[in-house]
Amino acid sequence: MFTPMGRVGIVLCAGGLLLGAAVTAPGFQQAPPAPVNRQTYRVAMADGVHLATDVYLPAGTGRVPAVVLRTPYDRNQGRGIGADGTRRGYVVVIQDTRGRSASEGRNLPFEGDGWWEGRQDGVDTLRWVAAQPWCSGKIGTMGGSALGITQLYAAAAGARPLDAQVIHVGAPSFFHHLTFSGGVFRKAMIEDWLRGTRHDSESLAFWTRSSRYDAFWRERDMSRRYTHVNVPAVHVGGWYDIFAQGVIDAYQGYQRHGGPRSRGTQKLVMGPWTHGIFRDAAGDLSFRGGARPPGSISDPWAWLDHHLKGVDNGIERTPAVTYYTMGDTSDPKAPGNEWRTADRWPPHNAPPTRWYLHGGGVLSPDPPGKAESRSFFYDPADPCPTVGGPQLTLPSGTKDQRPIEGRPDVLLFTSAPLSEPVEVTGRVRLRLWAASDGADTDFAAKLCDVYPDGRSYNVCEGILRARFRGGFDHERPLKPGKRFQAEVDLWSTSIVFARGHRLRLLVTSSNAPGWDPNPNTGEPFRAGTRTRVAKNTLFLAGSAPSHLLLPVAPGR
């Protein structure tokens, strides 16, 4: 959504709308060097609510293309983009979303941005822009995080005219990508963001009314509406971003299921970044050359110039996917640490490789020889702490996991040192057979790259609330002690594990405060304060061979 704040202060709404920091995406200018022609309007929506809207006009007269940004972060923060756009020959329109800053309406997150009757603010705004005497009829949108979400919502609402989008670190599903990934509430991100942005106090209750993927969440899920999308777009994300999988899912949804102007016209860029994109550092590690991909695909104005002005700059011929493959950052000769391109995502169609969990703490592509199990006790009063990963208000990105690897509630499964490099590019999943003595519990997993000196860096991770093992739209309480099968989605990555490195899987039952600890009682979400310690068991062989599904690149 979401501009990092709280502990780190407001940094950047990635994608261009600068919010009080000296970090900006390529192609965006920080501040106007000279006064510009800015006019402010109060634009009426269909239900009579007025939204504060700044229009930045280029010199001269005549109709020109318009670029629209809709933000919950105060439109006044976008003056630099407004000035930069006018110098490039665009009208730039920056609007406070419903209930935010100077706009009217209820101050609930994104509640006016979708396709609900009487509250289709993106649709109404683009229609208003197209009717103005300064607009040529060609309209694009840009921005990231929350501004990426408002773009996704406008496209899914069928906003017209809409000729191009530049979407940085956005997410299409409020349930799956934002609020309850794996069915577990993303506590730190959601609570801190709502508090820091000063949304109405009821907003938290509004977003936590249901931990199931029910009618409330389905109604707000733009991934169910890709057929309404009809626009070429660039989707930019990072492997350690809070919305990493959401960016990929939106790209695939537009590319495969959108209208005729969407299918086959999308571009995806995935870098070694957190929510602050276009940097070479992500947590403790810096990835050489990772700050910016080669070519013009990271320049939002090049994309807009082509689609709104008809400039033949070749950007539409850029490969569909540009992605960074990570590697050993301490060895300049190690494989990986490079930008690659592909005509689709994932770039290969090879079936995933099974890496099995062994009773002795070994991770191997060889199946275990005998039936074994490993157990641990998970106490919600002492959850495993969040260390890096896809976080917003907590330290994010790559972090050495050794501080938590010695905990008694963390199981480790580690491969032998690799004799040859292994590339993992695509979506990673953990298929497990497990049991608990409680009515509910969580299973959290991290895939790590263990360096020869013992440093253990997280690559990707996921979590699952066991009651949702059969689907997020219904709950199935556990039967204490009875074995069950479940799958933990660790989202996607691209990395080469170098020769001499080891793969490691961490399995535990919490990742707090990044995710809300499960009380293990089976009671409805936050229905009470009672907790209990759970004994959780993984089964590792025979008819229950728990294993990782790794998208190992063929020939790598």
Inter-axis angle of helices 146-156 and 121-130, nearest 10: 80
Sign of CA pseudo-dihedral 435, 438, 440, 445: negative
Cis peptide leading into residue 390 (ω within 30°): no
Residue 21 has pLDDT above 70, yes or no: no
At residue 213, the pLDDT reads 98
For residue 486, pLDDT beyond 90: yes
The model's pLDDT over 491-536, given as tens digits with 9 standing for 90+, comes to 999 999 999 999 999 999 999 999 999 999 999 999 999 999 999 9
Is pLDDT larger for residue 8 or for residue 74? 74
Peptide bond into 380 cis (omega under 30): no
165 token code pair = 């989008």
Per-residue pLDDT tens digits for 307-363: 999 999 999 999 999 999 999 999 999 999 999 999 999 999 889 999 999 999 999
Contact between residue 54 and residue 43 where contact means Cβ atoms under 8 Å apart: no
Fold of the domain spanning 353-550 = Jelly Rolls (2.60.120)
Task: Give the confidence band of 555 by pLDDT, cuts at 50, 70, 90.
Answer: confident
Six-digit token pair at 508? 């535990």
What percent of the chain is predicted at pLDDT more than 70? 94
| Per-residue pLDDT at 23 exceeds 80 | no
Lowest mean pLDDT segment, chosen from 1-10, 58-67, 177-186, 543-552: 1-10
Rounded distance between C-alpha atoms, residue 506 and residue 429, angstroms = 13
Range 224-236 average pLDDT: 98
Cβ neighbors of 474 (< 8 A, separation 6 or more) are: 212, 468
Q: Start-end ranges of CATH 2.60.120.260 in the chain?
A: 353-550
CATH architecture of 6-173+221-342: 3-Layer(aba) Sandwich (3.40)
pLDDT reading at 13 higher than 60: no
Beta partners for residue 489, in sequence order? 429
Q: Span 260-285, mean pLDDT? A: 97
Average pLDDT score over residue span 209-233: 97
The pLDDT tens digits for 427-473 are: 999 999 999 999 999 999 999 999 999 999 999 999 999 999 999 99
What token pair was written down for 23? 């970090």
What are the residue ranges of CATH 3.40.50.1820 in the chain? 6-173+221-342
- Measured CA angle at 484 (ends 179, 378), to 5 deg: 60
Q: How far apart are CA 185 and CA 515, in angstroms?
A: 6
pTM of the full predicted structure?
0.95
Predicted confidence at residue 543, as pLDDT, reads: 86
